[in-house]
C-alpha cells in the first residue's frame, strides 16, 4: 500500500499538463470500465494477516477473479473533489456468511463516492483517495457496503480520461454482503464542449512612416535594395554588384549568384557527371561516382554486377540472391545434410564413431572442391541430464567434427563449431524417437 501511494505521488509531481487548461474543476463525464471482484484475498487476510498473505504470495491471481462491467458518471465538485456514481454488474458466486452454496448469479451494485484528488485538472495525472456508500442486489438479496480505496486518473489530450481504481468494500449488512476487493479500469468521455476562453485581439499596428531616402541617392528606402549605400537605379539603388563576392563583377560573371573562378568565367569548378565532386578532384569526371572512391563508381572487383560494398564475396562472382556469392547447388547441400544426419558418437561421449568417417570424408571432398566455402557445425542434445552438462557435450561433439575435418586438411579458419545443448529441440523430448532426433549435429555451407 505504501509503495502504491508513493508511486501515485511521484506520478503527480512529474505529470504537469501542457494543455493550459483554465478551468481546474473536472467536466461532467460518462465512463465505461472493466471490473474484477476478489472475495478470496480479504478472507485470507482476515483469517491471518496482510503480512502473512503478502509474504506467502497468497493474493488471488487476476485470472481467478470474477470479471464484470460498470458505467460511471463523474462530475467535479471542487478543484480537488469529484463525485462518482457507478452502476456495475458481474456474474459470480457470492459467498454469504451462514448461507447455503450459491450457483452463478448476477450481482448488481450501485455506489456513490467522493474522489479526493491530490492534484487538479491542471495536471495529466490525478491520484486520488475514494470513499462512499454502496448497495447491491444478488439473487433476491439486498445489501449495503462502504467502498474505500485508491485510484488514478490520466487525462488523454483533454478529450478523454483513463482511470484505474482499487477498492476495499466493507459490508454494512453482513448477512447479505461480504468483504471483498473491487478493481476497475476504464475510459471516461467528457460531456458537452469545453469552455474556451475568449482572448481579445491585439490592437492594430501603427501606420508605417513615410518612405525615406537614407543614403540620398534619389531612390527611396522602400525601393532601395542598399538604403545605406549610394547606388544607381540600374541596380535598384545598389552599387554595381558582385553578388557572390567572388571578385568578378556581375556584368562579367556567368554565374553571378554562385562564387566561382575567373578561369571558369566566374562559375564554380564544373562537375560534368553531376556526382557532387568537381572535375578537378574527380578521377572519373564523366562517370558519376562517390567521394570515398575519388569520384569514381563503387567498384565491382569480381564483375558480377554487384558492387563490392554490397557483395559478401567481392572476389568471387556470384548472384544477387546470395548477396554476391555463388549459389550452393542443392545436390551439394543434400550430401552435407545426409552426412550430418549420419554422424554418430560413442554412447555418452563426444568421440566420433568410425561409421561417421565415410560421410564426413564426403564433406571433406566438397570443401576441397570448393575452397571458398565455409562450414558451420552446430551440436545439439536432448534434455536428458543437466543443462550445463548437455551444453558442454554439444560443444565437444561439434568440436569433434571440426577437428576431424581439420585433420583431413580443411583449414580451421573455414570452420566454426558451436554447441547449443538442449535449447533447440526439433522433436518432442518426451518420446525416445523425439530424443533421438534432438541428439544431432547440423552442418551448414556458406560463403560468408
- Asked, for residue 161, whether it belongs to a domain, the answer is yes
29 and 177: one domain?
Answer: yes
* Residues whose CB is less than 8 angstroms from the CB of residue 11 and which lie 6 or more positions away in sequence, other chains included: 125, 127, 152
Task: Kindly report the backbone phi and psi dihedral angles of residue 338, in degrees, each rounded to the nearest multiple of 5, phi listed first.
Answer: -65, -45
Q: What is the pLDDT, as a whole number, of residue 2?
A: 42
- Asked, for residue 195, whether it belongs to a domain, the answer is no
Per-residue pLDDT at 288 exceeds 90 = no
Q: What is the pLDDT, as a whole number, of residue 434?
A: 92
Q: Final residue of a domain: which of 266, 292, 322?
A: 266
Task: Kindly report the backbone phi and psi dihedral angles of residue 16, in degrees, each rounded to the nearest multiple of 5, phi listed first.
Answer: -65, 135
Cα separation, 410 vs 448, whole angstroms: 16
Cα separation, 70 vs 188, whole angstroms: 12
Listing DSSP states for 155-216 in one string gives: EETTTEEEEEEEEEEEESSTTT---EEEEEEEEEEE-SPPP----PPPPPPPPPPPP--TT-
Cell of 51: 503480512
Mean pLDDT along residues 122-141: 92
Weakest-pLDDT range from 281-295, 349-363, 428-442:
281-295
Dihedral angle computed from the Cα positions of residues 113, 114, 120 and 125, in that order, rounded to the nearest 10 degrees: -40
Question: Residue 30: which pLDDT band, with cuts at 50, 70 and 90?
Answer: very high
Q: Final residue of a domain: which of 190, 207, 238?
A: 190
- Asked, for residue 124, whether it belongs to a domain, the answer is yes
Cα separation, 35 vs 184, whole angstroms: 4
Cα separation, 353 vs 346, whole angstroms: 6
- Asked, for residue 199, whether it belongs to a domain, the answer is no
Mean pLDDT along residues 408-418: 96
182 and 228: one domain?
Answer: no
Q: What is the pLDDT, as a whole number, of residue 10?
A: 44
224 and 180: one domain?
Answer: no
More confident residue, 274 or 78: 78
- In this structure, what CATH number is given to the domain that contains residue 36? 2.40.160.20
336 and 388: one domain?
Answer: yes
| pTM confidence score | 0.43
- Asked, for residue 286, whether it belongs to a domain, the answer is no
Question: Residue 22: which pLDDT band, with cuts at 50, 70 and 90?
Answer: very low
Mean pLDDT along residues 331-347: 92
Mean pLDDT along residues 71-79: 92
Q: How many CB atoms are closer than 10 A to CB 177?
A: 24
Per-residue pLDDT at 113 exceeds 90 = yes
Question: Range of 405's domain?
Answer: 330-446
Q: How many residues does the chain have?
A: 448
159 and 231: one domain?
Answer: no
Cα separation, 18 vs 319, whole angstroms: 56
- Asked, for residue 10, whether it belongs to a domain, the answer is yes
Mean pLDDT along residues 98-118: 86
Question: Residue 395: which pLDDT band, with cuts at 50, 70 and 90?
Answer: very high
Q: Final residue of a domain: which of 210, 245, 266?
A: 266
Question: Residue 23: which pLDDT band, with cuts at 50, 70 and 90?
Answer: low
Per-residue pLDDT at 261 exceeds 90 = no
Q: Are 181 and 167 spatial neighbours (Cβ–Cβ below 8 Å)?
A: yes
More confident residue, 320 or 4: 320
117 and 175: one domain?
Answer: yes
Task: Kindly report the backbone phi and psi dihedral angles of residue 209, in degrees, each rounded to the nearest multiple of 5, phi listed first.
Answer: -70, 160
Q: Which helix (H) or strand (E) holds 357?
A: helix 357-369
- Number of structural domains found in the chain: 3
Q: What is the largest CA-CA distance in the chain?
A: 109
Mean pLDDT along residues 32-43: 92
- Asked, for residue 284, whether it belongs to a domain, the answer is no
96 and 160: one domain?
Answer: yes
119 and 242: one domain?
Answer: no
Per-residue pLDDT at 13 exceeds 70 = no
Q: What is the pLDDT, as a whole number, of residue 5?
A: 38
Q: What is the pLDDT, as a whole number, of residue 100?
A: 60
- Asked, for residue 19, whether it belongs to a domain, the answer is yes
Cα separation, 61 vs 262, whole angstroms: 84
Per-residue pLDDT at 195 exceeds 70 = no
Q: What is the pLDDT, as a whole number, of residue 196?
A: 64
Q: Are 70 and 89 spatial neighbours (Cβ–Cβ below 8 Å)?
A: yes
Cα separation, 226 vs 217, whole angstroms: 10
Weakest-pLDDT range from 133-137, 194-198, 311-315, 422-426:
194-198
* Residues whose CB is less than 8 angstroms from the CB of residue 323 and which lie 6 or more positions away in sequence, other chains included: 306, 310, 311, 312, 313, 448
Burial of 280 by CB count in 10 Å (0-12 exposed, 13-18 middle, 19+ buried)? exposed
Cα separation, 414 vs 366, whole angstroms: 13
Cell of 440: 544431432
159 and 245: one domain?
Answer: no
33 and 179: one domain?
Answer: yes
- State whether residue 82 is helix, strand or coil: strand
Weakest-pLDDT range from 189-198, 306-315, 427-436:
189-198
159 and 237: one domain?
Answer: no
140 and 49: one domain?
Answer: yes
Outline where 296-356 has alpha helix (H): 330-341
Q: Which residue has the cell 448461507?
A: 99
- State whether residue 316 is helix, strand or coil: coil
Q: Which helix (H) or strand (E) holds 30?
A: strand 29-38
Mean pLDDT along residues 57-63: 88
Most confident range (mean pLDDT) of 172-186, 207-221, 284-298 is 172-186
List, for residues 312-338, the tens digit of each pLDDT value: 888 889 888 888 889 999 999 999 999
- In this structure, what CATH number is given to the domain that contains residue 413? 3.30.1330.60
Task: Kindly report the backbone phi and psi dihedral angles of residue 44, in degrees, each rounded to the nearest multiple of 5, phi listed first.
Answer: -65, -40
The DSSP letter of residue 243 is T
Q: What is the pLDDT, as a whole number, of residue 363?
A: 96
* Residues whose CB is less than 8 angstroms from the CB of residue 64 and which lie 6 or more positions away in sequence, other chains included: 40
- Report the mean per-residue pLDDT for the chain: 86
Q: Are 148 and 168 spatial neighbours (Cβ–Cβ below 8 Å)?
A: yes
Per-residue pLDDT at 257 exceeds 80 = yes
Amino acid at each position: 500500500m505504501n509503495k502504491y501511494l508513493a508511486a501515485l505521488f511521484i506520478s503527480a509531481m512529474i505529470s504537469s499538463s501542457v494543455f493550459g487548461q483554465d478551468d481546474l474543476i473536472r467536466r461532467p463525464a460518462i465512463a465505461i470500465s472493466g471490473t474484477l471482484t476478489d472475495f478470496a484475498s480479504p478472507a485470507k487476510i482476515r483469517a491471518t494477516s496482510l503480512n502473512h498473505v503478502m509474504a506467502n504470495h497468497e493474493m488471488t491471481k487476476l485470472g481467478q477473479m470474477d470479471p464484470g462491467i460498470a458505467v460511471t458518471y463523474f462530475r467535479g465538485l471542487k478543484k480537488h473533489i469529484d463525485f462518482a456514481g457507478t452502476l456495475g454488474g458481474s456474474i459470480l458466486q457470492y459467498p454469504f456468511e451462514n448461507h447455503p452454496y450459491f450457483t452463478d448469479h448476477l450481482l448488481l451494485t450501485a455506489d456513490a463516492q467522493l474522489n479526493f484528488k491530490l492534484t487538479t485538472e491542471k495536471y495529466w495525472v490525478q491520484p486520488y483517495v475514494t470513499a462512499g456508500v454502496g448497495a447491491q442486489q444478488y439473487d433476491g438479496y439486498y445489501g449495503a457496503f462502504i467502498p474505500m480505496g485508491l485510484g488514478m486518473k490520466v487525462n488523454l489530450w483533454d478529450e478523454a480520461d483513463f482511470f484505474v481504481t482499487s477498492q476495499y468494500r466493507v459490508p454494512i449488512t453482513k448477512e447479505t454482503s461480504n468483504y471483498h476487493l473491487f478493481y476497475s479500469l476504464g475510459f471516461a468521455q467528457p460531456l458537452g464542449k469545453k469552455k474556451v476562453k475568449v482572448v481579445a485581439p491585439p490592437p492594430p499596428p501603427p501606420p508605417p512612416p513615410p518612405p525615406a531616402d537614407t543614403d540620398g541617392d534619389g531612390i527611396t528606402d522602400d525601393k532601395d535594395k542598399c538604403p545605406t549605400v549610394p547606388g544607381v537605379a540600374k541596380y535598384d539603388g545598389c552599387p554595381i554588384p558582385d553578388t557572390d563576392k567572388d571578385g568578378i563583377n556581375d556584368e562579367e560573371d556567368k554565374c553571378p549568384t554562385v562564387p566561382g573562378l575567373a578561369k571558369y568565367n566566374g562559375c564554380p569548378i564544373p562537375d560534368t557527371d553531376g556526382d557532387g565532386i568537381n572535375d578537378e578532384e574527380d578521377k572519373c569526371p564523366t562517370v558519376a561516382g562517390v567521394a570515398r572512391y575519388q569520384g569514381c563508381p563503387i567498384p565491382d572487383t569480381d564483375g558480377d554486377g554487384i558492387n563490392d560494398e554490397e557483395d559478401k564475396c567481392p572476389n568471387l562472382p556470384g548472384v544477387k540472391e546470395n548477396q554476391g556469392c555463388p549459389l550452393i547447388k542443392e545436390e551439394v547441400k543434400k550430401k552435407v545434410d545426409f552426412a550430418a544426419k549420419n554422424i554418430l558418437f560413442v554412447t555418452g561421449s563426444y568421440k566420433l564413431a568410425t561409421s561417421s568417417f565415410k560421410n564426413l570424408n564426403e564433406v571433406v571432398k566438397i570443401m576441397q572442391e570448393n575452397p571458398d566455402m565455409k562450414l558451420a557445425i552446430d551440436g545439439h542434445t536432448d534434455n536428458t541430464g543437466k543443462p550445463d552438462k548437455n551444453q558442454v557435450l554439444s560443444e565437444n561433439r561439434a568440436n569433434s567434427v571440426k577437428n576431424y575435418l581439420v585433420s583431413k586438411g580443411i583449414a580451421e579458419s573455414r570452420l566454426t563449431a558451436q554447441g547449443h545443448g538442449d535449447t533447440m529441440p526439433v522433436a518432442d523430448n518426451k518420446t525416445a524417437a523425439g530424443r533421438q532426433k534432438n541428439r544431432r549435429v547440423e552442418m551448414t555451407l556458406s560463403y560468408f
